[in-house]
Amino acid sequence: MRTRFHEELEQLTGMLEQMCLRDETAIATATRALLETDIEQAEHAIDLCAHVEAMGQDAEDAAVMLLALQAPVASELRRVVTALQLSANLARMGGLCAHIAGLVRRRHPHPVMPDPLRETVSRMGAAAVSMAASAAQVLATGDAEAAAALEGRDDVMDQLHRDLLNHILGPEYTGGTTTAVDLALLGRYYERFADHTVEVGRRTLFTTTGSTEPE
């Protein structure tokens, strides 16, 4: 019975890891759509996100089934509860990618972003992709250091987000109000995406080691 439980828990964790890898592809695709004003990539990102949402429902159902059939306790129960919570974080990450891709679609054939900000947005995109990859790694291996490193990378994301806002609000900005509003929302979507990866790392670490600090 316990072996069966561990097999099923491993399957569930595998589902979460797959969701996270799909989020990584989705944020990479949405960022490419944004930087290249590419409507096909934007549509593709939106499709990926719908898929992540469906995977989230499957993961939730699997977690509930595991609770019903195995009635785990103590740390095993905590791991299933965490899986439930993580499926919500991972589904939300997909939703944020869809928002980014949606902006590309709304402004098409015009670019969302003026050239001077491509560099900052491109770095935010790269940070988000790498954070999603690390979160997937934490899910796969329970690696405490990778989870802790996510928090450091979130500081980089926050700094990029501040740079973006400072640029929009600075005297040299001439991009107009629509673009400023788009960029403010865009910054918020990337920042939230990153927050969720940190949450994935932190919660996974907590259930693996019972602590939110690296050992």
Q: In the complex, which residues of this chain contact a second copy (CB under 8 A)?
A: 60, 63-64, 67-68, 71, 73-74, 77-78, 81, 84-85, 88, 165, 168-169, 173, 177-178, 180-181, 184-185, 188
Report, in Å, the least distance between residue 70 CB and a second copy: 9
**Residue number with CB closer to a second copy (93 or 146):** 93
Least distance from C-beta 77 to a second copy, angstroms?
5
Pull the structure tokens for residue 193: 């995406």
Residue type, 3: T
Please state the closest distance from residue 75 (CB atom) to a second copy, in A: 11
CB of 40 to a second copy, least distance (A): 26
- With tokens 């979507």, the residue in question is 189
Distance between CA 136 and CA 142 in Å, rounded? 10
Residue 133 or 184 having the CB closest to a second copy? 184
Q: Which residue has the tokens 């891709």?
A: 101
Residue nearer to a second copy on the CB measure, 13 or 87: 87
**Residue 7 C-beta-side C-alpha neighbours within 13 Å:** 4
User: Cis link prior to 109 (omega < 30° from 0)?
Assistant: yes
Cβ proximity to a second copy: between 81 and 156 the closer is 81
> Least distance to a second copy from the beta carbon of 201, Å?
17
Check if the beta carbon of residue 33 is closer than 8 Å to that of residue 42: yes
CB 86 within 8 A of CB 203: yes
Asked if 46 contacts 101 with a C-beta cutoff of 8 angstroms, the reply is: yes
Q: Which is nearer to a second copy, 159 or 178 (CB)?
A: 178
> Contact, 22 vs 54, CB < 8 A?
no
